[in-house]
């Protein structure tokens, strides 16, 4: 509030506004001064009619990028893992810490479970309704969210799976045709062919 957005000049002023519920993250009012923001989180300042998404930049930092109000109502979340619950229901564990339960009618034939690790859910916020499901596959658009190639965007050209931790890699082709290889877990899908969200110009 003070250092990046320059809304207030002093720490005490930022603390006061946060305590008054001046800010929302993913559609929920946040009053915790130390609440962390991560990749794809949406910060809304309703009184100023300003909306931001947290995205990585090429300087290895997470930054606030301004987005339209309509964009503030959606979020892309990567499925980091899945858990089977009592009754055969499935819990999707997402990259931002939230969990979504998928109801399964017949545990012996869980036809509702079409989700895999690394897939993306396009969610409405704050309701968490699944608007669309994007499968992690070649020819999809992705962004690198960690490592030396952070913030680079391109089409997935190859998914190379190897045995062992941090062994699998992904190669993406950037808009200028330059290939970039990165670790499997450093990739986050943006869309099937085109981005589901507005991207920073840089």
pLDDT per residue over 111-152, tens digit each? 999 999 999 999 999 999 999 999 999 999 999 999 999 999
- What one-character DSSP code corresponds to residue 85? P
| CATH superfamily, with its number, for domain 74-134 | Ribosomal protein S4, central domain (2.40.50.740)
pLDDT at residue 184, rounded to an integer: 94
Contact 179/172 with Cβ under 8 angstroms?
Answer: yes
Structure tokens belonging to residue 66: 């301004």
Does the structure show a pLDDT above 80 at 202? Answer: no
Contact 67/198 with Cβ under 8 angstroms?
Answer: yes
Q: C-alpha angle 48/52/57, rounded to 5°?
A: 145
pTM for this entry: 0.90
Fold classified for 11-67: 3.10.290
pLDDT at residue 58, rounded to an integer: 79
More confident residue, 108 or 182: 182
pLDDT digits (tens, 9 = 90+) for 43-78: 999 999 999 999 998 787 888 999 999 999 999 999
């Amino acid at each position: 509030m003070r250092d990046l957005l320059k809304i207030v000049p002093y720490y005490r002023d930022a603390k006061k506004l946060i305590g008054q519920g001046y800010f929302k993250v993913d559609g929920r009012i946040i009053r915790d001064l130390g609440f962390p923001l991560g990749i794809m989180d949406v910060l809304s300042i309703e009184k100023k009619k300003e909306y931001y998404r947290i995205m990585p930049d090429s300087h290895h930092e997470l930054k606030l990028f301004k987005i339209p109000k309509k964009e503030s109502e959606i979020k892309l979340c990567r499925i980091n893992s899945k858990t089977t619950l009592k009754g055969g229901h499935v819990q999707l564990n997402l990259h931002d810490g939230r969990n979504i339960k998928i109801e399964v009618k017949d545990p012996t034939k869980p036809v509702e479970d079409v989700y895999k690790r690394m897939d993306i859910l396009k969610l409405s916020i704050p309701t968490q309704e699944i608007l669309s499901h994007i499968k992690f596959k070649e020819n999809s658009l992705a962004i690198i969210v960690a490592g030396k190639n952070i913030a680079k965007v391109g089409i997935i050209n190859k998914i190379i799976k190897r045995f062992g931790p941090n062994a699998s890699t992904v190669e993406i082709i950037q808009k200028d045709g330059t290939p970039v290889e990165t670790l499997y877990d450093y990739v986050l899908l943006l869309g099937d062919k085109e981005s589901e969200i507005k991207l920073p110009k840089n």
